[in-house]
């Protein structure tokens, strides 16, 4: 699933193609990807609008249109946005812009969604803080974890607590912090919280610099792959050994999510 580094990369690399461009037409090849309004109304409200801004919050992209609407996109499990791709097999929607620019919503498994809102705050207000913002301090993380009995991994994956962290970056962060993912969130010590805070920011920044992780379906707007997955320590590490101690990476399930750990570096609570 595209997470914060992947969606931020998509935003950054789309910006020069879309800002100031007018949506001349839109093709929807699978109606199920439009949440609301109904497809015909959605298209009529989008066509003719100029893209005045493009922003990201958590895993969401916001196309600020010249009219009264914000076009919201969520990549979900397998979505990407591609500019004038040669391979259109998995294209579910196309924004035809002026200057011959076509932006394809490419999504093999059809989980991605797009819809219109009057204000981006409708979505943003449901999300927790951005982990790369200055306001996300060790103290802020401590406040999020305080008193919670749920596994720490489940808490940091909850988008209402922290926006943008997904499964693979949670695994990498917990490994770097030497915290077991099943440890109750509220039981982390001050030292563990500080390590986890540092790890979350370090892991996300590194992945962002490497343009995201192309583990399965994520593709950058120009059709190339991100390389963050090449630097993973434990995420998707079946059959690999811990880069620190050499122990075999172990897979377990935490609240329904496949999870990778080093059982020696991250001792069970």
Tens of pLDDT, residue by residue over 132-146, are: 999 999 999 999 999
For residue range 37-82, list pLDDT tens digits in order: 999 999 999 999 999 999 999 999 999 999 889 999 999 999 999 9
Active-site annotation, residues: 2-3, 59, 257
CA atoms of 223 and 221, how far apart (whole Å)? 5
CATH class of 138-261: mainly alpha
Q: Where are the domains of the chain?
A: 4-124, 138-261
pLDDT exceeds cutoff 80 at 17:
yes
pLDDT exceeds cutoff 80 at 1:
no
For residue range 219-258, list pLDDT tens digits in order: 999 999 999 999 999 999 989 999 999 999 999 999 999 9
CA atoms of 108 and 223, how far apart (whole Å)? 15
Task: Classify burial at 251, counting beta carbons within 10 Å of its beta carbon; exposed 0-12, middle 13-18, buried 19 or more.
Answer: middle
Architecture of domain 4-124: Alpha-Beta Barrel (3.20)
**Where does the pLDDT of residue 200 fall: very low under 50, low under 70, confident under 90, or very high at 90 and above?**
very high
CA atoms of 127 and 107, how far apart (whole Å)? 24
**Where does the pLDDT of residue 114 fall: very low under 50, low under 70, confident under 90, or very high at 90 and above?**
very high
pTM of the model: 0.96
């Amino acid at each position: 699933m595209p997470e914060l580094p992947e969606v931020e990369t998509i935003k950054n690399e789309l910006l020069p193609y879309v800002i100031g461009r007018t949506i001349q037409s839109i093709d929807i090849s699978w109606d199920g990807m439009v949440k609301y309004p109904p497809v015909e109304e959605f298209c009529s409200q989008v066509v003719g609008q100029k893209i005045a801004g493009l922003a990201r919050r958590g895993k969401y992209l916001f196309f600020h249109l010249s009219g009264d609407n914000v076009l919201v996109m969520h990549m979900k499990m397998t979505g990407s946005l591609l500019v004038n791709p040669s391979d259109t097999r998995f294209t579910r929607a196309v924004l035809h812009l002026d200057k011959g620019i076509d932006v394809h919503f490419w999504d093999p498994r059809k989980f991605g969604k797009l819809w219109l809102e009057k204000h981006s705050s409708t979505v943003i207000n449901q999300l927790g803080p951005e982990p790369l913002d200055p306001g996300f301090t060790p103290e802020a993380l401590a406040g999020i974890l305080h008193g919670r009995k749920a596994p720490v991994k489940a808490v940091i994956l909850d988008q209402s607590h922290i926006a943008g962290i997904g499964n693979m970056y949670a695994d990498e962060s917990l490994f770097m912090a030497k915290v077991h993912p099943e440890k109750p969130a509220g039981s982390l010590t001050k030292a563990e919280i500080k390590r986890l805070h540092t790890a979350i920011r370090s892991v996300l920044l590194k992945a962002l610099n490497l343009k995201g992780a192309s583990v399965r379906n994520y593709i950058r707007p120009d059709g190339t792959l991100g390389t963050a997955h090449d630097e993973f320590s434990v995420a998707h590490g079946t059959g690999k050994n811990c880069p620190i101690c050499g122990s075999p990476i172990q897979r377990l399930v935490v609240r329904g999510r496949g999870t990778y750990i080093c059982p020696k570096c991250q001792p069970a609570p």
